[in-house]
């Protein structure tokens, strides 16, 4: 893997180790060199029942705004642990975000511990009680004492409203260090962060703008990509950097720019994004964390086109990815998942002779699957996949990982062979990714060709 | 959510805060009251590119063997950070597991930092070099210097072989505290843990046996379940405890037993598992982390039966879950994903009059989908789903979350209505779970009925 050398998290250097007393890193209050730490509270994380996804989400948001995360810490909800982790983090970083331990069914030791830690007493917040009454009114259920207690907050914190629940966010300031506590439910935490915490942090630190553009690519690996764009990358202007963010079947490229003048940074960022996209046009499928099925959805909706799928080795995953999106019924009609050769024949009308002569994993069969599905389900386009996902079924001529994909459309049917890898789950995922990308490229090409004709 | 009150992670109590010097918790070496900490190294976790799944896996394994995790800490690979986190964790816990920063393409600052931290020098380990040569021989590629350097290990650690890669695990002991460093690739880390670290930890601490049995349930919520088994739970013998582990569409029940005599604990655990299963027979679908599709696979394979699916709102997810399993082609023939009403008519031969009279989300239509799919795809069983996943499409009579599921088999077709919830993704997931469970119950019932007849 390529190192994200330009995205490194800075160390605080030779600071003092944590002690029992509160003390703070050097740097005057409100100067902009803060680091942050995330503390997640909950036994369910320590015993491995729950995977902590909140920290990754928060880590990305903070990094992107220029407040790098120094540590992520998970602890139980025991008051000793909470106090000890808070002291540790506050001794190293100017911003400490705490999630978890604030739900209505929790023991709520977290809130009591925070109140005590910040020498505070719990008082009823009228805004929060109003929010709770509104939420409960909508549901037509009487408000329980447990829920009413959610409106109790430490008197010396700033309340940050929770648009998606009853437990509010709480913002504490102590000698230039900020501690923010939020509930652990991801949906609620994200609402509090986006609506309150992030803008408030930017204002507090009067942060110089850090802007980002993300280019989504598929069909090329990280090293091959790096070789192509090496020269461009090394000529990046000062204050601009590039990060490679790979995951199965795709590589995200993130360009980051810093500077005092937002307008200038934004303009430069647009230019750089255009330049980079032009260097690798065949692999760029979208921008800003779009999934490939979202891009396909946009393309088809804009043009009023419909699509169907015919799946063998992907076993319904392409259909499932498409239909996870709300509104997909506007362009997606359905799939014939033909896992057995018999179903390929009876439901997709693949000819027995083709199956016998070329095998199910072949250009001929996948081509018939695509063109017949398109005819049977009466759509503008169709995409079909047949391959050997593994672990069994490979032969010397067609090893595990061999996948044929065909796209059928108004201009005919085209098929292509791919070699994925050795792992079943990844092969299925990568095949679905490649199939959606082939569909995308074909719809785009047909649209361009049509423009050329008229 | 019910608190896992019997699974709480113990606090170390009023221990001293960390200082720059190494010092250790009370307790003589080799006594069995250790806590553990997990340190994950890597900027990709702090910037939110990667979600840390290793810690949850390790946390579960350690908790299950009776070494609770006190903290999980994520840091960058800066040497200062590594040293500081090691000092902190070693001051609180007797076992510290470090993952990440050891791959062949890393800067490998982690290994150098560890060597220095433990006053060690790097030496070539002949076993590891042998492993690397074997692995590379299989691939027919010459070994690079970078890979050869993986065999360099601190001279005073015990090497733990990596069955799935080139970077070995390293076991350090320092004044009764154990530090174990492993690569961050999940597949490699798990191989080192299962094959080396976990048995070695059990032997080191001469741990009294802790045994577990897990019961998998679906179709009932946590609170309803708790009400049914309350009496049984409160009568659990000493040294036995129950934990509820809920996730969307299912609740895992884990019974834990401790004691000196493994044979007695195991026997008692079997009895308790049988008792509990008998209290809630209609909701138990399996044991020991089986997924419902794995149970269905077993049932169908044992009996030589085949199945197909007909999906509307689940959009191929049931097909995809079934075909993720290797070997599924033995019992699964395919699916007709009929997302549009037109496809329901043309591909599943649902009658236009039924569609018009009752709507696509109805007992009548889902029953036709199931029975026609079974006939068309020539399988012993079929399962069909039609529902309103949301966010749009709900009506006062059929709100978002309304789902009809039908199972068709040799004895006819039966359909059932479910109300899932408000969130599209969850509705789709829960509908697939309920469909697989209805199929399971039906196959089981038919098998029992047949036994009664003969």
Lowest mean pLDDT among A140-154, A361-375, B325-339: A140-154
**pLDDT above 70 (res B331):** yes
Instruction: List chain B residues with CB under 8 Å of A315.
Output: 319-320, 322-324, 328
Distance between B312 CA and the closest CA of chain A, angstroms: 8
Q: Which residues of A397-434 are buried (b: 16+ CB within 10 A; e: fewer)?
A: ebebbbbbbbbbbeeebbbeebebeebbebbbbbbbbb
Q: Do B347 and A376 touch (CB under 8 A)?
A: yes
Q: Show residues of chain B in contact with A71, CB under 8 Å.
A: 46, 73-75, 81, 85
| Alpha-carbon distance A81 to nearest alpha carbon in chain B (angstroms) | 7
pLDDT at A23 over 60: no
| Confidence at residue B404, expressed as pLDDT on a 0 to 100 scale | 98
CA dihedral sign, ordered B389, B392, B393, B398: positive
A68, A337, A373, A423: best mutation site toward chain B, by most B Cβ within 10 Å?
Answer: A337
Contact A17 B14 (CB under 8 A): no
Query: In chain B, what residues touch A425 (CB-CB under 8 Å)?
Result: 324
| Pairing between β-strand B250-258 and β-strand B240-247 as defined by DSSP bridges | antiparallel
d(CA A360, CA A313): 10
Contact A80 B107 (CB under 8 A): no
Of B43, B103, B324, Cβ closest to residue A428: B324
Given this model, what pLDDT does residue B26 score?
34
pLDDT band at residue A453 using 50, 70 and 90 as cut-offs: low
Mean pLDDT of B270-275: 97
E strand or H helix at A292, and its extent? helix A292-303
pLDDT at residue B1 tops 50: no
pLDDT band at A153 (very low <50, low <70, confident <90, very high): very high
User: Which residue has 């380990």 as its token pair?
Assistant: B125
Across the interface, which of A1, A17, A105 has its CB nearest the CB of B1? A105
Percent of chain A with pLDDT over 70: 90
B292-453 shares the fold of B5-204 = no
Could B80 and A107 be called an inter-chain contact, meaning their C-beta atoms sit closer than 8 Å?
no
Higher pLDDT, A10 or A354: A354
B150 pLDDT exceeds 70? yes
User: According to the model, what pLDDT value does residue B195 have?
Assistant: 94
Q: Where are the alpha helices (DSSP H) in B118-247?
A: 126-139, 145-148, 186-192, 198-204, 222-234
Q: Choose among A242, A91, A302: nearest CA to B84.
A: A91
Q: What mean pLDDT is reported for chain A?
A: 88
DSSP label at residue B220: S
Closest partner residue to B329 among A2, A47, A340, by Cβ?
A340
How sure is the predictor about A411, in pLDDT bands with cuts at 50, 70 and 90?
Answer: very high
Question: From the list A18, A309, A322, which residue is nearest B17 (CB)?
Answer: A18
The pLDDT tens digits of the residues spanning B211-264 come to 889 999 999 888 889 899 999 999 999 999 998 888 878 899 999 998 888 899
**Chain-wide mean pLDDT for chain B?**
88
Least confident of A239-243, B1-5, B92-96, B381-385: B1-5
Residue A144 distance to chain B (closest CA, Å): 16
B138: pLDDT strictly greater than 80: no
Cβ–Cβ of B50/A56 closer than 8 Å?
A: yes
For A389, nearest residue in chain B (alpha carbons): B326
* Most confident region among B42-46, B137-141, B268-272 by mean pLDDT: B268-272
Domain residue spans in chain B?
5-204, 210-287, 292-453
Residues of B in contact with A73 (CB under 8 A): 71-74
pLDDT of B129 reads: 86
CATH T-level assignment (fold) for domain B210-287: Alpha-Beta Plaits (3.30.70)
Q: Which residues of chain B lie closer than 8 angstroms to A19, CB-CB? A: 17, 19
Q: Answer yes or no: is pLDDT of A183 > 70.
A: yes
Question: What is the reported pLDDT for A7?
Answer: 38
Does the beta-carbon distance from B319 to A324 stay under 8 Å? no
Q: How close are the terminal C-alpha atoms of chain B, in Å?
A: 46
CB–CB contact A43 B4 (8 Å): yes
pLDDT > 70? residue B375: yes
Nearest to B326 among A328, A343, A424 (CB): A424
* pLDDT mean over A395-404: 95
Least Cα separation, residue B310 to chain A (angstroms): 10
Q: Which among A35, A57, A335, A346 is the top mutation candidate for probing chain B, defined by the most B β-carbons within 10 Å of its own β-carbon? A: A335
Size of interface A-B (CB pairs under 8 A): 302
Give tens-digit pLDDT for B387-424.
999 999 999 999 999 999 999 999 999 999 999 988 89
Is A12–B80 a contact, with Cβ atoms under 8 angstroms apart?
A: yes
Say whether B61 and A52 touch across the interface (CB within 8 A). Answer: no
A49 Cα to chain B: minimum distance (Å):
7
C-alpha distances in angstroms, A261 versus A64, A265, A348, B298?
Answer: 17, 6, 59, 63
Mean pLDDT over B110-132 rounds to 90
Looking at the predicted structure, is the pLDDT value of residue A30 above 50? no
Confidence of residue A141 (pLDDT cuts 50, 70, 90): low
Residue B76 with chain A: CB contacts under 8 Å:
8-9, 11, 70
Q: Class assignment of domain A5-205? A: alpha beta
pLDDT of residue A20: 30
Q: Which chain A residues contact residue B63 at CB under 8 A? A: 46-48
Q: How many Å is the maximal CA-CA distance in chain A?
A: 82
Question: Chain B residue closest to A58 (CA)?
Answer: B48
Which residue out of A1, A40, A47 would a mutagenesis test of the B interface target, given it has the greatest number of B Cβ atoms within 10 Å? A47
Name the CATH topology of B292-453.
Maf protein (3.90.950)
Q: Name which residue leads in pLDDT, B258 or B134.
A: B258
Q: How far apart, in Å, do the first and last CA atoms of chain A sit? A: 46
Query: Bigger pLDDT: B14 or A317?
Result: A317
Q: What angle do CA A43, A45, A47 make, to 5 degrees?
A: 70
CB–CB of B305/B446 below 8 Å? no
| Nearest-neighbour CA in chain A from B129: distance (Å) | 22
What is the percentage of chain B residues whose pLDDT exceeds 70?
A: 90
DSSP E strand stretches across B57-149: 69-75, 95-99, 122-124
CB nearest to A316's CB, from B319, B327, B340: B319
| Helix/strand/coil for A203 | helix
Q: Do B75 and A74 touch (CB under 8 A)?
A: no
Percent of all residues in chain A with a pLDDT value above 90, rounded to a whole number: 66
Alpha helices, H only, B170-312 = 186-192, 198-204, 222-234, 262-279, 292-303
Q: What is the pLDDT of residue B205?
A: 87
Q: At residue B451, does pLDDT exceed 80?
A: no
Residues β-bridged to residue A98: A39, A181
CA distances, A244 to each of A3, A11, A241, A426, B103 (Å): 8, 21, 10, 20, 18
Domain B5-204 class in CATH: alpha beta
Q: Which one is predicted more confidently, A291 or B151?
A: A291
User: Is the CB of B18 less than 8 angstroms away from the CB of A17?
Assistant: yes
Task: Tell me whether residues A63 and B55 touch, CB distance under 8 A.
Answer: no
Interface confidence, given as ipTM, is: 0.81
Interface contact A9-B58, CB threshold 8 A: no
Q: pLDDT at position A5, please?
A: 36
Which of A23, A80, A320, A387 would best serve as a mutation to test chain B binding (most B beta carbons within 10 A)?
A: A320
Cβ partners under 8 Å of residue B434, min gap 6: B218, B219, B249, B403, B405, B418
Return the pLDDT at A249.
Answer: 83
**pLDDT digit string, tens, across residues A80-133:** 999 999 999 999 999 999 998 776 555 567 899 999 999 999 999 988 888 878
Q: Do B45 and A333 touch (CB under 8 A)?
A: no
Q: Is the model's pLDDT at A239 over the cut of 50?
A: yes
| A337/B337 Cβ within 8 A | yes
Closest chain B residue by Cα to residue A65: B47
The confidence band for A148, taking pLDDT boundaries of 50, 70 and 90, is: confident
Q: How large a percentage of chain B has pLDDT more than 90?
A: 66
* Mean pLDDT lowest among A408-412, B92-96, B224-228, B331-335: B224-228
Lowest pLDDT segment from A19-33, A193-207, B355-369: A19-33
Q: For residue A210, what pLDDT is reported?
A: 81
Q: Which of B5, B25, B43, B308 to mutate to test the interface with A (most CBs of A within 10 A)?
A: B43
Instruction: Tell which residue, B116, B128, B115, has the closest CA to residue B169.
Output: B128
Contacts of B348 (CB under 8 A, 6+ apart): B310, B336, B338, B368, B369, B372, B373, B376
Q: Residue A441 class from Cβ within 10 Å (0-12 exposed, 13-18 middle, 19+ buried)?
A: middle
């Amino acid at each position: 893997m390529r190192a994200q050398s330009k995205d490194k998290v800075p160390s605080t250097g030779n600071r003092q180790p944590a002690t029992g007393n509160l003390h703070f890193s050097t740097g005057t209050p409100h100067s902009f060199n803060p680091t942050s730490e995330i503390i997640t509270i909950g036994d369910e994380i320590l015993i491995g029942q729950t995977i902590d996804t909140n920290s990754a989400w928060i880590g990305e948001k903070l990094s992107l705004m220029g407040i790098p995360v120094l540590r992520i810490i998970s602890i139980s909800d025991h008051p000793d642990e909470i106090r000890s982790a808070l002291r540790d983090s506050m001794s190293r970083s100017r911003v400490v975000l705490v999630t978890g331990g604030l739900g209505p069914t929790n023991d709520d030791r977290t809130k009591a511990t925070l109140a005590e830690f910040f020498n505070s007493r719990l008082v009823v917040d009228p805004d929060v009680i109003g929010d709770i009454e509104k939420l409960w009114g909508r549901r037509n259920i009487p408000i329980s004492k447990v829920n009413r207690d959610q409106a109790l907050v430490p008197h010396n914190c700033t309340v940050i409203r929770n648009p998606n629940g009853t437990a509010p966010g709480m913002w504490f300031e102590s000698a230039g260090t900020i501690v923010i506590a939020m509930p652990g439910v991801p949906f609620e935490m994200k609402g509090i962060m986006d609506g309150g915490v992030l803008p408030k942090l930017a204002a507090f630190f009067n942060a110089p703008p850090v802007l980002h553009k993300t280019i989504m690519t598929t069909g090329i690996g990280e090293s091959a990509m790096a070789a192509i764009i090496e020269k461009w990358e090394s000529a990046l202007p000062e204050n601009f950097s590039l990060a490679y963010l790979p995951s199965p079947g795709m590589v995200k490229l993130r360009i980051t720019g810093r500077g005092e003048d937002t307008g200038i940074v934004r303009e430069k960022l647009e230019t750089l994004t255009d330049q980079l996209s032009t260097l690798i046009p065949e692999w760029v499928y979208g921008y800003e964390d779009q999934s490939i099925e979202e891009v396909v959805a946009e393309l088809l909706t804009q043009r009023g086109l419909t699509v169907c799928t015919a799946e063998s080795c992907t076993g319904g995953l392409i259909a499932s990815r498409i239909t996870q999106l709300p509104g997909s019924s506007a362009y997606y009609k359905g799939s014939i998942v033909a896992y057995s050769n018999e179903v390929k024949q009876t439901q997709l009308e693949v000819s027995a002779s083709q199956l016998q002569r070329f095998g199910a994993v072949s250009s001929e069969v996948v081509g018939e699957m695509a063109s017949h599905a398109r005819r049977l389900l009466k759509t503008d386009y169709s995409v079909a996949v047949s391959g050997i996902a593994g672990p069994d079924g490979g032969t010397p001529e067609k090893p595990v990982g061999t996948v044929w994909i065909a796209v059928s459309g108004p201009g005919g049917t085209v098929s292509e062979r791919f070699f994925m890898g050795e792992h079943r789950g990844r092969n299925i995922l990568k095949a679905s990714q490649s199939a959606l990308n082939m569909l995308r490229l074909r719809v785009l090409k047909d649209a361009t060709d049509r423009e050329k004709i008229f």
